[in-house]
Amino acid sequence: MSNSPYIQAVDVENFEKVVIQSSFQVPVLVDFWAEWCAPCKALIPVLEKLVAEYQGQFILAKVNTDEQQELAMEYGIRSIPTLKLFRQGQMVEEMTGAQPESVLRTIIDRHRDRKADHLRFEAIELYRQGKVDQALLLLERAEHIEPDYFPVILDKAKMLLDQKRFAEVTQLLQNLPANVQTDPATEELQVQLNFAQVADRSPSVLQLRQILADNPLHYEARHQLGAQLVLAGEYPEALEQFLELMRQNRQFGEDAGRKSILGVFMLLGNSGELVSRYRSKMSSLLLA
């Protein structure tokens, strides 16, 4: 085992101190392994490389399952290597099998303290106080510290979206790496941007209702009303408007009705009674 102070052999007696108590300061990655396990040995250099790189930003705790069978039973170890990450006294991540460096790095980064986070949280508080320019300035500093830390970019994009600075939000999202663009948080922000842009160039809700009363086949007005309703949190009525648009004209806006319904589903976490009900309605319409 490496002589790094950030790698600790763990047993029943010191597990509470090394893992549970230490996890209140930094993430603790517990590696359940054994001498005879080939994948465990393959994982060793990867883990030691990360320990050397992170220099105390996380602790690697090694549990030899042959010697520490009580711990292995307590934590339900059925195969090795098994990795469990502890933070704030609780297990927050679990992986089985030899993991690539990229996966381990992502898991550790998700839970470690980052310099940029302190600026992020301060910026968010300033924004809540209405100090928009100061908040954005802090996020720029955070981005300079950690250019590849995409939560900073998303925080900035959300603030700019609230300010209706749509072109800047679009540019920020387009410049994100491909893997980040497909992250659910990014996709949700893109959906919000799409609805905000539609609503921003539309008449008021009252005017849109009057337009539709006079002409129920005014597709653009129906689409705009749905977007306004989404931004107001009126999801059931918004879904009804988009479903009706889908029923009336699948060609409008390259199937804007169906796309908008899917966008609302994403904002609702793709789950729940409302999503299930309208997914069924949409499927029935598609099969009609």
Cβ partners under 8 Å of residue 25, min gap 6 = none
Of the candidates 121, 97, 110, 101, the residue with the CA atom closest to the CA atom of residue 48:
101
Core vs surface per residue 207-225: b (16+ CB within 10 A) or e: ebeebbeeeeebbbbbbbb
| Rg of the Cα atoms in the chain | 25
* CA within 13 Å, CB half, 234: 12
| Length of the chain (residues) | 288
From the candidates 10, 19, 28, 40, give the one annotated as an active-site residue: 40
CA distance 89 to 178: 34
Q: In the annotation, is 40 catalytic?
A: yes
Active site residue 106: no
Q: Which of 2, 20, 34, 37 is catalytic?
A: 37
Q: Give the active site residues.
A: 37, 40
